[in-house]
């Protein structure tokens, strides 16, 4: 397998591009790749190239974009995952898996139900960390698109944003009055999937969601909170004939 690197400034075949610092470190220090070697470069916006290592400096690596190659196809539907913060490092796994399964963006949601350190705000450092995880997951799974990790917002802020895309809110089976099975949701080209915290939404949050979103449920079992986004994205893509 040819190693892939994220080169956000890449756009024109034949040009020389510099890698971001952590990509350069990965190339030189982890993979110990030498000058002249053939690699892949992708720009995170869907383009990919066969590239040659052009120059390796102290902390800089540049690549020559030799030939554009066909990038892995993106899903036909855009799924924005808005997901309540999970405890500990579980959010890392959610970001990694959502990128692998083709999410188009990921938005952390602050829910009153989640408690503990780091669940009330999301600083820029954490968002940067998740954005790096998104890059690393795109490298591994073969995507040429790196989804944005959006700034965190509260549920109310989220629901106030009337961007026009349809919202689906995942509910626990028992709090699912008026909910549809996820497999029965009609296809949209773009959708926002809102996933609640461990233990479900608070009562008033549930009401807000019911008033503004299509409520959906999956299966009849209680699912692990950190696996729910992965299961839900898979279910939507299969139901919409996009997997």
Q: Contact residues for a copy of itself (CB under 8 A)?
A: 72-73, 75, 97, 100-102, 140-143, 181-183, 218-224, 227, 230-231, 234-235, 237-239, 241, 243
Taking a C-beta distance cutoff of 8 angstroms, is the pair 193, 168 a contact?
Answer: yes
Between 3 and 142, CB nearer to a copy of itself: 142
CB of residue 180 to a copy of itself, shortest distance in Å: 12
Smaller CB separation from a copy of itself, 88 or 219: 219
Q: How far is the CB of 171 from a copy of itself (least distance, A)?
A: 15
The least CB distance from residue 237 to a copy of itself, in Å, is 7
Is the CB of 120 or the CB of 181 nearer to a copy of itself? Answer: 181
Residue keyed to tokens 């790096």: 132
- HSE-up (13 A, CA, CB side) for residue 53: 22
Question: With 0-12 CB in 10 A as exposed, 13-18 as middle and 19+ as buried, what is 169?
Answer: buried
The answer to whether the CB of 27 falls within 8 A of the CB of 37 is no
What does the block give as tokens for 109?
């949601």
- Which is closer to a copy of itself, CB of 3 or CB of 56? 3
């Amino acid at each position: 397998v040819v190693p892939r690197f994220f080169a956000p400034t890449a756009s024109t075949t034949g040009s020389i591009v510099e890698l971001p610092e952590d990509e350069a470190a990965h190339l030189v220090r982890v993979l110990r790749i030498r000058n002249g070697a053939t690699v892949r470069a992708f720009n995170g916006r869907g383009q990919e190239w066969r590239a040659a290592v052009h120059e390796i400096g102290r902390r800089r690596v540049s690549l020559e974009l030799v030939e554009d190659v066909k990038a892995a196809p993106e899903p036909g539907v855009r799924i924005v995952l808005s997901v309540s913060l999970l405890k500990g490092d579980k959010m890392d796994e959610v970001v990694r898996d959502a990128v692998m399964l083709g999410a188009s963006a990921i938005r952390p949601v602050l829910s009153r139900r989640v408690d503990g350190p780091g669940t009330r705000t999301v600083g820029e450092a954490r968002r940067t960390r998740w954005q790096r995880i998104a890059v690393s997951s795109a490298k591994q799974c073969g995507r040429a698109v790196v989804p944005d990790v959006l700034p965190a917002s509260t549920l109310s802020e989220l629901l106030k944003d009337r961007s026009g895309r349809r919202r689906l809110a995942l509910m626990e089976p028992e709090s699912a009055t008026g909910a549809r099975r996820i497999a029965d949701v009609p296809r949209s080209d773009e959708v926002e999937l809102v996933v609640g915290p461990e233990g479900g939404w608070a009562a008033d949050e549930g009401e807000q969601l019911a008033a503004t979103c299509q409520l959906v449920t999956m299966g009849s079992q209680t699912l692990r909170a950190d696996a729910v986004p992965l299961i839900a994205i898979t279910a939507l893509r299969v139901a919409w004939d996009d997997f």
